[in-house]
Structure 1
Amino acid sequence: MDIAEPLLAAHRARFAAVDALLPPAAPPADGERLDAATAGGTQVTGVLQRQRFAPGDVPMLWSAADTWQLFPYFGDTGTEGADLLLRALKGRLEAEDTGDDSACVVVWPSRDAEAIRAFLDHGLVPLSAVGVRTAPPPEASPGVSVRRAGPGDFDAALKLATATFDYTGLVASPRRDNTAELLAPSLRDALAEEEPAAWLAEADGELRAFAHCAWLDAVPGTEAGELLPPGRWGYVNNVVTAPGERGGGFGRALMAHVHRELHRGGATRTYLYYNPTNPLSSVFWHRQGYRPLWTTWEVRPASALR
């Protein structure tokens, strides 16, 4: 989609100024265009995309079934420009019959405080964030045994992985009834790989924590390249400590091992998604050296946008 070159240049300059770790801002997305103008006559533009998911689609683990995602381009107009585009989105949605399982979503650089003001004013909340870690791997934690997980661990690993959503369903996206079924295929594939990126922490013969990870190459022009600076990254997909064991140091010991293993596989940096509204993970991951890069702002249902 074409956007005026001065606005696109201002958009890219904004990203570069807000956070030096952001990759160059991606070209405009395809979708429906929303336009507005500031009091001073500066044009701002948004691109609107709609995604619909079926009950068996994996994105249902974290997404509403009917999602309206806004890609804003407001350059140096700050809070005013963001506010105008969200007002335009609200006006657009008044013509739609949005159901209960719907959402308005904006993914935006976490450090852009001017935009945050507009998001809060319109009823959006920070339900998810991409956290990045650039520090070297930590030393091993004594007293906890960590090993690679294999096919024989599938049932135990799935039970632990599902437990993540039992908790996050209270503080972030609602838990789906078919969560285990949605998780199972990718987890089974990961455990069957010759060099799986999945680990289990054990103590006294009992499984205490589980981590499902991967390696990923961020290349310009790809989805990962729009999210992260170029290079080989470790992706921390799902980490959970067994209920009743949280706070005992098992997650910390597991991740010390995992960070070393991901580094050994060529990843000098790692990233993950976490919920800022989660009182456990929002503290745990910051202590592990992660900081937010992108934040997903969301309001459910879509009709609740102010």
Structure 2
Amino acid sequence: MATAQELMRLQFARFAALDPQLPDTHHLPSSGEPIVTQTLDGGAVAGLVARNSNPPGSAQSLWQASEVFELFPIVGEQPQAGMDALLRAWREWLATHASPGPNSSCTVVWPSRDIAATRALLDHGFLPLSCLAVRPPTPAEYTELSGTVKVRRAGPADLDAVVELTLAELEYAALVGTSTYRPDAPRLKRTAAHVRLHSSDPVWLAEQDGTPVAVAECGWVDTAKSPSSYRLRAGMWAYVNCVSVQEKVRGTGIGRQLMTLAHNEFARAGVIGSFLYYNPPNPLSSVFWPRQGYRPLWTMWEVRPATALR
């Protein structure tokens, strides 16, 4: 019977053939509950379940359930049969080892191009509510907008405008993905924006007749320091945290102008690429981001509550 190490080796060899942008390996969490089972034809598969809590008042509570069970599958070269067997075993594990509440979820993060595993995830009730998308560090063609729209770097004095725009994005995202607009969202967003505006992370504002109408919150991430957190190749990346455009000016090119400026600065900084998270069910971001050159690398599959796992 194949060992977990052998299954991991086969799994990442298969990932490399599926998508050259995937990292060579992925570190499992340091703690978790192991699951070992077999496919219908007797093939060995395994997984590790990590349990995380996001209490009220935490930033993670805006985009995750209060109680998150994440499965790290180790299925070797058996993406469909192996994932199916592992998810069945996980359902039994939840029934005997945990008591998930109503504000809970089961999550699996898996390469977006692995459609064989996709079939098994769908069959067990998972939905592809979010994905991590990447873009190469190429400059973008700049097109100056006509009229009175101006883009500039935001500073500490723009805190109120940034918070207002990012809250509008959260309110919209809560309808089409994993985000939740909780009562303390304004405070959490203000704290995060304050930190970002007092750091070296770039934030841009688009103004129309002097009034802020769009924001692009970005940052820098060295994935060599925390590879398991991002599932990206090691190196310096640019991160697009939030882009929000007021409803009345959507479709006018303001979002494109913001990201053209951002992508050109990313290229000048010498990053190995940029990444972001977006919701495939979102009718705006699912169109906008591919047009900016982003494509899915990892898909975040989710079931809420955890007891809905089939």
The TM-score with structure 1 as length reference comes to 0.94
**Structure 1 residue 247: deviation in Å?**
1.2
Alignment of 1:1-306 (within 5 A): 4-29=4-29, 30-95=31-96, 96-134=98-136, 136-143=138-145, 144-173=149-178, 174-193=180-199, 195-219=200-224, 222-223=227-228, 227-306=231-310
**Pairwise CA RMSD:** 1.7
Structure 2 residue identity aligned to 1:84: A
Q: Which amino acid aligns with 1:258?
A: A
Q: Report if the CA contact (8 A) 2:4-2:46 is conserved.
A: no
Q: CA deviation at 1:246?
A: 1.3
Relative to 1, partners in 2 of residues 1:238 and 1:80: Cα closer, same or farther, differing over 3 Å?
same
1:99 offset after TM fit, Å?
1.4
SS at match of 2:134: strand
C-alpha separation between the residues in 1 aligned to 2:28 and 2:223? 19
Runs of at least 5 residues in structure 1 that lack an aligned partner in the other structure: none
Q: Supply the distance in 2 between the matched residues of 1:178 and 1:253 (Cα, whole angstroms).
A: 32
Q: What is the rounded CA distance, in whole Å, between the counterparts of 2:168 and 2:226 in structure 1?
A: 35
Q: Is the 8 A contact 2:4 2:74 kept in 1?
A: no
Report which stretch shifted further, 148-157 or 260-269.
260-269
Q: CA deviation at 1:81?
A: 0.5
* Residues 10 and 220 (structure 1), Cα distance of their counterparts in 2 relative to 1, 3 Å cut: farther
Q: Is contact 1:150-1:196 (8 Å) kept? A: no
Unaligned runs of 5+ in 2: none
Residue correspondences, number: 303
The verdict on how the C-alpha distance between 1:196 and 1:12 changes in structure 2, with shifts beyond 3 A counting, is closer
| 2:40–2:85 Cα contact (<8 Å) kept | no
Separation in 1, partners of 2:28, 2:198: 39
Note closer, same or farther for the CA distance 1:104–1:285 as it changes in structure 2 (3 Å cut).
same
Deviations 1:23-48, CA, capped at 9 Å, x for gaps:
01224433111111123321100101
Please state how far the C-alpha of 1:116 moved relative to its aligned partner.
Answer: 0.4
Alpha-carbon shift at residue 203 of structure 1 (Å):
2.1
SS in 1 for 2:249: coil
Query: Distance between the aligned counterparts of 2:5 and 2:302, measured in 1?
Result: 29
Structure 1 position 12, deviation (Å): 1.6
Residues 287 and 217 (structure 1), Cα distance of their counterparts in 2 relative to 1, 3 Å cut: same
Q: TM-score, normalised by structure 2?
A: 0.93
- For 2:228, give the aligned amino acid: E
Counterpart of 1:156, as a letter, is: A
